[in-house]
Homo-oligomer: A and B are copies of this chain.
Amino acid sequence: MGLASAVLVGALLAGAAQAATPVKEVRAWREANEKAVVADFIKMLAMPNVATNVADIEKNADYLTGLLKARGFTAEKLYAEPDTPPSVFGELKTKGARRTVVFYAHYDGQPIAQKGWLNDPFQPTMRTALPEAKAVDWQAGAGPLDPEWRLFGRSAGDDKVSVQALLSAMDALKAAGRKPSVNIKVLWEGEEEQGSPHFAALVNRHRETLKTDLIIMGDGPVHQSGRQQLNFGNRGIVGFKTTVYGPIRPLHDGHYGSWAPSPTVMIANLVMSLRDEDGRILVPGIYDDVQPVSPAEKAALAALPDVETGLKRNLAIGRNVGGPRLVDGYMTTTLNVRAIHGGDTGPDAANAIATEADASFDIRLAAGQTPERVKKAVEAHLAAQGWTLVRETPDAATRGAHPRVLKIEWDQGGSRATRSAVDSPPAMAVAAAIERTVGYPPIKIPTVGASSGMVEVVDALQAPMVGVSIANFDNNQHAVNENLKLDALWRGIEIYAALLSDMSW
């Protein structure tokens, strides 16, 4: 048929799909099952999942494998090699479906060492709307749960919500007698917050099993405006820790403060040699490999709604750094000082010179950069600043032999960035299914600021990737008091139901 006919058929198909959106049935099911969904989610969140603890990760993986099997999936744990954190793989074939979709999420979580948690991060607690956040007995009372309530616990937003939304969506579709429209493959990673050190090998090893036409990446929060968004890439990351050295024993600063080198000052100087307060990285050559922003990406960026004014109020900051738009920095590289520490603080602070001080950094990589070249540039810069770089804790002889000794420890892992096209047919099918669910076209972001192991998946599976986020933007991911708004969970279930049953291309 001719072009005009093809367009017509396409429009008719789209119309048929629109008639098939499951949102009403899914919402009705959810309204009838809110407490059961919350109870399931709490059970999942109560399982400790800090990525450094492989035994905990295994327990989570076993539990999730069971949940998939209970819903008719074939399911198993995939490994890169023995004794590494498994990914959970599940498959459910759909009779007659022409397309296969990999639904990616991660079930591991960030560390929990930060002070100030309102509740144990692994004892998920329902709380009233912010800023009150009062613990509430959500099981009492008859009516619907307040959608402004939030469930506080590690991974509530990053990223077990995506796992729960898919599972509940399957339940809702089954209750409604609705069939998926694609072959479903689930891939839930167990070491994302650790920097995905084994994930590339895992995906490559199971490339045939994971063969797909599209990867739906379910990580990250929705747009700060509260609107649904799609994204088409992630930044990469490399992290490192530095330690600087002063006298080998602590010294009275009255007697030695004018003569002995001070590690608390050296570490501050080191930080300021790497970036300025406005966010500009001072490492020569670090911007050289950054891929330029294309006109299409610029158009997508320009179309983003204003969030900055509200964000400044929300965050109580009297200024921002870098460009005026939040996303201005997403297309390039950013250096964050995770932590700086030296000496004792608080009321017991001693008038002493510390023996060492440290600072911890991570660099987000833009498309085009590689961890290897960034590491080289950083080390060359540090050496040029007069630092003698060592990999192990230096002994007294080493400390005494050089004017400025720096121990540098690179985090395991590290990843490149990835970016997929914003207008491929599967990407447009995702956007259409979500628009039919929420009633407006989702925002499109060429890349998010965060990192993930997805670059390896995209490379290995040679399939486009679309990021679909459902967590509320103010979910405190990676930080103290991570939480998920119930409203976000409800909408997430509807969106996953649409992605499972209302997509075709």
Chain A interface residues (CB < 8 Å from chain B)? 50, 52, 110-114, 220-221, 235, 237, 239, 241, 246-262, 264-269, 271-272, 275-277, 279, 308, 312-313, 315-323, 325-326, 328-330, 332, 334-354, 357-360, 362, 364, 396-397, 399-405, 448-451, 474, 476-481
Contact = CB atoms under 8 A, between A and B. Distances in A.
A197 to B, nearest CB: 14
Contacts of A312: 400
Given A257-B449, A312-B400, A345-B360, A265 B237 contact: no
Given A52-B347, A241-B349, A260 B339 contact: no
A460 B313 CA distance: 55
Given A253-B362, A337-B343, A478 B352 contact: yes
Contacts of A260: 315, 317, 320-321
- Protomer copies: 2
Contact of A349 (B328, B338, B343, B352): B338
B259 A350 contact: no
A296 to B, nearest CB: 21
Contacts of A315: 247-249, 251, 260
B350 A261 contact: no
10 contacts: A113-B350, A114-B250, A235-B254, A253-B334, A258-B332, A262-B337, A316-B396, A316-B397, A318-B405, A340-B343
B239 A351 contact: yes
Contacts of A253: 334, 336, 338, 362, 364, 478
Contacts of A330: 258
Given A239-B351, A268-B272, A339 B345 contact: yes
Nearest to A346: B113
Contact of A319 (B308, B344, B403): B403
Given A316-B397, A318-B403, A350-B478, 20 more contacts: A237-B254, A246-B317, A247-B317, A249-B474, A252-B477, A253-B362, A255-B326, A255-B448, A257-B364, A257-B449, A259-B322, A259-B326, A260-B315, A260-B317, A262-B321, A268-B337, A313-B400, A316-B396, A318-B399, A345-B360
Given A326-B259, A403-B318, A450-B252, A350 B264 contact: no
B277 A261 contact: yes
Contacts of A405: 318
Nearest to A475: B252
B313 A264 contact: no
B258 A334 contact: yes
A260 B271 CA distance: 17
A12 to B, nearest CB: 40
Given A265-B271, A269-B272, A329 B113 contact: no
Nearest to A249: B476
A258 B322 contact: yes
A262 B362 CA distance: 13
A362 B354 contact: no
B451 A254 contact: yes
Nearest to A113: B348
Nearest to A339: B343
Contact of A362 (B111, B241, B351): B351
Contacts of A341: 340-343, 345
Contacts of A450: 252, 254-255
Contacts of A237: 254, 351
Contacts of A448: 254-255
Q: Which 6 A-B pairs have the closest CB atoms?
A: A258-B329, A339-B343, A254-B450, A250-B479, A111-B348, A268-B271
A304 to B, nearest CB: 13
A275 B265 contact: yes
